[in-house]
Amino acid sequence: MTQTLTQTKSESAPDLSYKHFLRRNIGSGLLSFVAALFAVIAVLPLILVLGYVLVQGGSQINLSLLTQLPPPPGLEEGGIANAIVGTLVVTGIAGLIAVPVGVGGGIFLAEYSSSGWFAQFIRFGTNVLAGVPSIIAGVFIYGTIVSSRILFGNAYSAVAGGMALAVLMLPTVIKTTDEGLKLVPDDLRRAALGVGASRFVTVTRITLPAALTPIATGVVLGIARAAGETAPLIFTALFSPFWSDLLSPEGIFAPIATLSVMIYNFAIMPYEFHNELAWAASFVLVMMILTLNLLSRWLARFAAK
């Protein structure tokens, strides 16, 4: 009797094996292939750009290139050392301006005015600013800082370039700080307020340390975006073929070399050696930005743990 029931169930059970010849399975396979093809096409430009820069610029890297000044037009001996230092200086100035303002703005949005009309206006303005072309930030700083010579009578300077890059960094830092603080459980805030802590103490001692990793990720991403910009620096920091005297206060208020502007200047020159320096500077800049992006991914993964 049991054997008969088992045989009957086995005979009535549907065939669940995968059938390749069915129309829906053929259509699913075609769509999967198309999706995979589009994914490869989307990643292919990145691979080609990185590979081409690696081949053209990586072969030019040597010790003298990283320690010497760029040569005058026509000479075939020099390097990109001052541009590397200038990029670090301008990006550092941008970070000193954008990080405190951006983190403070994100704290205000998340902790003090999360749903008010002013907070909604700030969030809308931040989203708009994130989509503004970088050259607009350069023109804005040129019109307000450079042309007016408001910085102790100086025009083009590293500080003006840092201000332009800070404008580009602000949306990223504000948004990541706001979103990072929203991830902190409200129970921590209630517990701190319940034991008599003020709102300021709660933010500085509880919520801000808890959201430190996503905030740091946003800061690194903002710096990575700012480090590769060219148009704002052409209008603000200009370029200098010499070492900047960073040990004196006048050094940051003078024109300064950066990798992105050097690439632009040397790439359009009719000299082969200068074109090679442009490729080498491109390689160094790409490696810097790639390192910062990998650091941000590591921080995000660390935060997820």
Is residue 94 in some structural domain?
A: yes
With cut-offs at 50, 70 and 90, classify the pLDDT of residue 91.
Answer: very high
Is residue 159 in some structural domain?
A: yes
Is residue 114 in some structural domain?
A: yes
Is residue 131 in some structural domain?
A: yes
Q: What is the CATH number for 165? A: 1.10.3720.10
Residue 211 reports pLDDT greater than 60 = yes
At residue 193, the pLDDT reads: 81
At residue 196, the pLDDT reads: 82
Higher pLDDT, 15 or 157: 157
| CA–CA distance, 40 with 36 (Å, rounded to integer) | 6
For residues 222-241, average pLDDT: 88
- How high is the mean pLDDT of the chain? 85
At residue 6, the pLDDT reads: 54
Is residue 43 in some structural domain?
A: no
Residue 7 reports pLDDT greater than 70 = no
Residue 1 reports pLDDT greater than 60 = no
Is residue 62 in some structural domain?
A: no
Helical segments of 183-271, H only = 186-194, 199-202, 208-210, 212-227, 231-236, 259-267
Question: For 10-24, 67-81, 284-298, which range has the lowest pLDDT when averaged over its residues?
Answer: 10-24
Is residue 186 in some structural domain?
A: yes
Which CB contacts under 8 angstroms, 24+ apart, belong to 237-243?
Answer: 237/86, 237/90, 237/156, 237/157, 237/158, 237/160, 237/161, 237/164, 237/261, 238/156, 239/265, 240/82, 240/86, 241/69, 241/70, 241/72, 241/82, 242/69, 242/82, 243/69, 243/82, 243/85
Query: pLDDT over 90 for what percent of the chain?
Result: 26
Provide the domain limits for residue 250: 84-259
At residue 94, the pLDDT reads: 93
At residue 165, the pLDDT reads: 93
Q: What confidence tens digit (pLDDT) does each residue in 163-210 have?
A: 999 999 999 999 999 888 888 888 888 888 888 888 888 888 888 888
Is residue 275 in some structural domain?
A: no
For residues 248-269, average pLDDT: 87
At residue 44, the pLDDT reads: 93
With cut-offs at 50, 70 and 90, classify the pLDDT of residue 295.
Answer: confident
Residue 38 reports pLDDT greater than 90 = yes
Structural domains in the chain (count): 1
